[in-house]
Structure 1
Amino acid sequence: MNEYYKDLKKAIAALEKYVASLEKDEYNYLYSSLERISDIQRNFRP
């Protein structure tokens, strides 16, 4: 299960890089999506 979280962290880091290059409106939309994803992830831990 540890491997899964490492890959997830890499994916999130890549997303953050991508998001940093976006316009403000796109950024706000994506940021709220990422917040929802991390909420789901937090509640999903085994």
Structure 2
Amino acid sequence: MKGCPYDNAVAEATFKIFKTEFVYGRNFDSLSQLRYELTSYVNLV
């Protein structure tokens, strides 16, 4: 139902885990490197 605080809870939790495990503290030299490492991360998890 519209306005329910639990509508987005799964997506928010997923992105929080993604940010803390994959993104924070990392620098990517190029977009292609980011794509490669992101694909590897998603397929291994």
- TM-score, normalised on structure 2? 0.43
Structure with bigger helix share is 1
- TM-score, normalised on structure 1? 0.42
